[in-house]
A and B are shown apart, each in its own frame.
Chain A
């Protein structure tokens, strides 16, 4: 079991079962021809720059949204255990730039495959990195609004 090198500030876990055998699902996650066909939200296209699926191998792609904005990801594979587990770690450039650690597990369920994705985010920002002064008036309004909506 691995964990990210950074202290995560947020976490997300999702699970879905796919009506396909595990070997095929794993292949579709680790073959660049397949992955580009489904990776990303509706309306996004993914261009794979490098995909070296083994521990330490580079994993780089650029996702383009319907608005024309690009979201490049640069990372490495940390763990590759065919056909049950993938772990990769990298940085998403965009707004804001941040580190994302991803763990994907593939479990066989009577001929179907249950995929669980767990992501941990660094959420570093210019403010926390450089200690820049915060614009209090703006931040106060946003905090007050946020607290009021909880």
Chain B
């Protein structure tokens, strides 16, 4: 996501009415009229909110004038970052253990080598 995309999405979500609209759409696609019912604002005002959400790529208008949410992988966004950090931890710690292990191996070889030399 470019910084501009992020601003647009964040701005779209910053409004509580728009968040409520999105939450309502989660339980099923619906029309502007139905969406406007719980709010004490005019239909044009609701339409404005829907346009903001649509421009932010969060909702989409179907052929029969219903609105539904886009498949925004909001969960995986945070999940990916967390999981990549888990993998980074896996490797840095495995490398630590590998470093120790290589030292042990070579130290053993050296000791064994010294012993053999002393026995000759």
**Does B55 sit within 8 A of A, measured CB to CB?**
no
Instruction: Point out which of A16, A34, A139 has the most chain B C-beta atoms below 10 A from its C-beta.
Output: A139
User: Using Cβ atoms and an 8 Å threshold, which residues of chain A touch B76?
Assistant: 123, 125, 127-128
What is the interface residue range for chain B against chain A?
Answer: 35 or more
Q: Known A136-B23, A137-B23, A140-B22; judge A38-B77 contact (CB<8 A).
A: no
Contacting residue for B105 out of A16, A28, A42, A148, CB 8 A: A28
- If over half of A's interface residues share one DSSP class (helix, strand or loop), that class is named, otherwise mixed; here it is mixed
Q: Within residues 98 to 150 of chain A, which ones have a CB less than 8 A from any CB in chain B?
A: 98, 115, 117, 119, 121, 123, 125, 127-128, 131, 133-140, 142-148, 150
Complex: chain B residue closest to A145, CB-CB: B78
- Which size class do A's interface residues fall under? 35 or more
Q: Is A39 an interface residue (CB 8 A)?
A: yes
A-B contacts counted at CB < 8 A amount to 126
* A68 interface contact, C-beta 8 A: no
Chain B CB within 8 A of A37 CB: yes
Asked if A1 is at the interface of the complex by the 8 Å CB criterion, the answer is no
Taking a contact as CB atoms under 8 Å apart, the answer to whether B98 and A38 are in contact is yes
Q: State whether the Cβ of B36 lies closer than 8 Å to any Cβ in chain A.
A: no
Roughly how many angstroms separate A139 CA and B95 CA in the complex, as a whole number?
Answer: 36
Asked if B72 is at the interface of the complex by the 8 Å CB criterion, the answer is: yes
The reply to whether A121 and B87 contact each other, CB–CB distance below 8 Å, is yes
Is B19 an interface position by the 8 A CB rule? yes
Q: Given contact pairs A10-B83, A28-B101, enumerate 10 new A-B contacts (beta carbons under 8 Å).
A: A12-B87, A14-B91, A14-B95, A16-B99, A24-B102, A24-B105, A38-B100, A121-B84, A123-B76, A146-B77
